[in-house]
Amino acid sequence: MGLISFVKGVGQRIFGGAKAEDKAADLKQNMDALGLDTKDISVEFEGEKAVLKGNVKDLATLEKAALAVGNQEGVSQVEIGDVKVESSGDASSFYEVKKGDTLWKIAESQYGKGNGAKYEQIFEANKPMLQDPDKIYPGQILRIPPMK
């Protein structure tokens, strides 16, 4: 995965402190609060870049952790540092939501015309960060899993 770019000025506002250590702690706390199995992942914050390190059970959890950290206001990049993935799988692609997008439109653009109903697959791949398929916003980065 390497480095994922995000729109720095969009996303949830979670930062309480001004120091990089405080921001890293805020990002880690927010990521863990989503119920992902990220207890063995650490977050470092350098400028506008978050760096993930540690161990994770599978690639999907790592991708979700990266999105949970990156879709925060003030984060422009997430770097996957030294992370051991116990069980790999097919990597997802990533998509930046544009004005006027719906999950249906995104599914058709990513999986081909006539596959709009696959929006449910995209919604499921982005849980728990997404809680409602109708609540996406421009600049948000979504996981697009391989089509089933």
Domains annotated on the chain, with CATH: 3-87 (3.30.1340), 93-144 (3.10.350.10)
**9 pLDDT band (50/70/90 cuts)?**
low
Q: What is the pLDDT of residue 13?
A: 67
Q: What is the pLDDT of residue 100?
A: 96
Contact 121, 148 (CB under 8 A): yes
Q: What is the pLDDT of residue 47?
A: 87
pTM, entire model: 0.87
Q: What is the pLDDT of residue 18?
A: 65
Q: Which helix (H) or strand (E) holds 11?
A: none
Least confident of 6-15, 78-87, 88-97: 6-15
Residue 42 phi, psi (nearest 5): -110, 155
User: Rounded to whole angstroms, how far apart are CA atoms 42 and 11?
Assistant: 21
Extract the tokens encoding 23: 């921001």
Contact 11, 72 (CB under 8 A): yes
The two beta strands, 93-96 and 77-87, are unpaired
Q: What is the pLDDT of residue 140?
A: 95
Question: Can you say how many angstroms the Cα of residue 30 is from the centroid of all Cα atoms in its chain?
Answer: 12
Q: What is the pLDDT of residue 15?
A: 64
**125 pLDDT band (50/70/90 cuts)?**
very high
